[in-house]
Structure 1
Amino acid sequence: MGPWGLPLLVATLAGCVFPARGCVICDPKVREALNSLEADYLPGHLEANHQKKVMEKIKQAVEDFKDLPIDEDSYMGVVDEATLEKASWSLLKDMKRITDSDAKGELFVKEMLWMLHLAKNTFASYAAQFQKEAFCPNKCGLMLQPLIWCSTCQKQVHACRKSKNCGKREVKVHQMEDMILDCELNWHKISQGLTDYSFYRVWKNNSETLVSRGKEPILTKTMVRPKDAGTYRCELGSIQSSPATIIYFHVTVLPKRIQEEIPSPNTETQDETALGEVAVDLPHTTVEPQTPKPEQLLRRRLFGVLIWGLVVLTVCVLIA
Structure 2
Amino acid sequence: MMLLLSLLCYVGSAVACLQCDRSIRILHEDFILSAPSLSDQIELKKINDQAIVSYKSTSQERKGVIDPTTLYRAKTEYQSEFNRFLKAERTGSVTFEAIQIMEKGRKILEKNLDVFIHDGLCPNKCGLLKRRVMDCLSCQYMMYMCPSPSNQQDCGELSVQSEEGGQAVLDCFFPWHRLVLGNPEYHYSWIPGSKKWDENNATTLVVTDESSVILNQLSVKDQGIYRCSLQKNNGTIFSQVTFLLTE
TM-score interval (norm. to shorter): 0.7 to 0.9
When Rg is computed on C-alpha atoms for both structures, the one with the higher figure is 1
CA contact (8 A) 1:194 1:236 kept: no
Match of 1:135 among 121, 127, 130: 121
For 1:156, what is the secondary structure of its paired residue? strand
Deviations 1:4-32 (A, max 9, x none): xxxxxxxxxxxxxxxxxx72011122123
Residue ranges of structure 1 left out of the alignment (5+ in a row): 1-21, 254-320
Structure 1 residues 28 and 70: CA distance shift in structure 2, 3 A:
closer
Counterpart code for 1:77: G
Deviations 1:185-244 (A, max 9, x none): 121112323411111112449412221112100111223222221110111113654211
TM (norm. structure 1) is 0.63
For 1:67, what is the secondary structure of its paired residue? helix
CA contact (8 A) 2:44 2:98 kept: no
Question: Structure 1 residue 67 and structure 2 residue 54: aligned?
Answer: no
Deviations 1:297-320 (A, max 9, x none): xxxxxxxxxxxxxxxxxxxxxxxx
> 2:25, 2:242 → 1: CA distance?
49
Partner of residue 146, structure 1: 132
Partner of residue 93, structure 1: 80
CA contact (8 A) 1:91 1:119 kept: yes
Question: Structure 1 residue 214 and structure 2 residue 208: aligned?
Answer: yes
> 1:213, 1:33 → 2: CA distance?
50
For 1:212, what is the secondary structure of its paired residue? strand
Query: Percent of aligned positions with the same letter in both sequences?
Result: 22
Partner of residue 229, structure 1: 223
The runs of 4+ residues in structure 1 deviating greater than 4 Å are none
More strand by share: 2
> 1:70, 1:114 → 2: CA distance?
22
Match of 1:192 among 181, 186, 192: 181
Partner of residue 156, structure 1: 142
Partner of residue 12, structure 1: none
Counterpart code for 1:66: K
Question: Structure 1 residue 57 and structure 2 residue 46: aligned?
Answer: yes
Number of positions where the alignment pairs a residue of Structure 1 with one of Structure 2: 223
Partner of residue 71, structure 2: 84
Higher RCO by CA contacts (8 Å cutoff, separation 6 or greater) = 2
> 1:137, 1:240 → 2: CA distance?
24
Deviations 1:245-296 (A, max 9, x none): 111100113xxxxxxxxxxxxxxxxxxxxxxxxxxxxxxxxxxxxxxxxxxx
TM (norm. structure 2) is 0.80
CA contact (8 A) 2:58 2:110 kept: no
Structure 1 residues 103 and 177: CA distance shift in structure 2, 3 A:
farther
Deviations 1:121-157 (A, max 9, x none): 2222222222221222212211011111112111111
Question: Structure 1 residue 25 and structure 2 residue 15: aligned?
Answer: no
> 1:140, 1:130 → 2: CA distance?
18
> 2:223, 2:232 → 1: CA distance?
29
Counterpart code for 2:78: L
CA contact (8 A) 1:24 1:62 kept: no
For 1:174, what is the secondary structure of its paired residue? coil
> 1:35, 1:241 → 2: CA distance?
49
Partner of residue 163, structure 2: 174
Question: Structure 1 residue 251 and structure 2 residue 245: aligned?
Answer: yes
CA contact (8 A) 1:194 1:244 kept: no
Q: Report the alpha carbon displacement of residue 110 of structure 1 after superposing the two structures with TM.
A: 3.5
